[in-house]
Amino acid sequence: MPIHYKCRHCETEIGQLPLDSIDEQFLQKNNITPEEQDLYIVHGVEGDYTVQCICEECQSSLQKFPNYYALKKWIQ
């Protein structure tokens, strides 16, 4: 199953990696805490993973309007 990368704001799919699973050593090497895993990595029902990240357009908007950081979902 691939690992999908999806913008957590606009839900645009950014890309995917053709990996079968997320390797525990990868998570430890990159200092991803269990709390961050719960926030940013979603386990799908088919065994796939989705990493919640941010696309370039949303990053640009957040830089222009920093008050958006306070909102959980700012794109309707």
List the chain domain ranges: 3-70
The whole-number pLDDT of residue 42 equals: 87
pTM for the model stands at: 0.72
Calpha distance 17→26 (Å, rounded): 14
The whole-number pLDDT of residue 7 equals: 92
What residues of the chain score a pLDDT lower than 70?
Answer: 1, 19-30, 72-76
List Cβ<8 Å contacts ≥24 apart for 67-71: none
The whole-number pLDDT of residue 13 equals: 94
